[in-house]
Amino acid sequence: MKLIYAIVRSIDSGDVISALNKEGYYVTKIASTGGFLREGNTTLMIGTDEDKVDDVINIIKRVCGPRKQIIANPVGTGEYTSMNMVVNVGGATIFVMDVDRFEKI
């Protein structure tokens, strides 16, 4: 048995959870904060058999893979106070851990 922690952008979490549920995976959602843009993140906890870990990771990759976003970067003073900047967003940070004991009650 494995426990997968997947940290995704909050904006992507609903789509990831739906895709995982559609494939029969149960997900626990935990709100968290962090990252480069200081936007809300969601930590997903997914318990699964060892042979299904790659399937879970592939679903997460497919749904919330990296993409580009334009943000306003404040610079200078006066009239010229911001400059648009393209940054990479999306993706996920994933941890896979062994589970010594699992009980569903």
**Does pTM top 0.85 for this prediction?**
no
What digits encode the pLDDT tens for the residues 34-47?
Answer: 765 566 789 999 99
Separation between Cα atoms, residue 67 and residue 74, nearest integer Å: 22
pLDDT (0 to 100) of residue 61: 93
Separation between Cα atoms, residue 102 and residue 32, nearest integer Å: 25
Q: What is the DSSP track for 56-86? A: HHHHHHHHH--EEEEEEEE-SSTT--EEEEE
CA angle 32, 36, 41 (to 5 degrees): 20
The domain segmentation of the chain, as residue ranges, is 2-98
CATH class name, domain 2-98: alpha beta
Q: What average pLDDT does range 53-82 have in this prediction? A: 78
Kindly indicate the confidence band of residue 97, based on its pLDDT and cuts at 50, 70 and 90.
very high
All residues at 6 or more sequence positions from 8 whose CB lies less than 8 Å from its CB, including other chains: 16, 41, 42, 44, 60, 64, 91, 92
pLDDT (0 to 100) of residue 104: 83
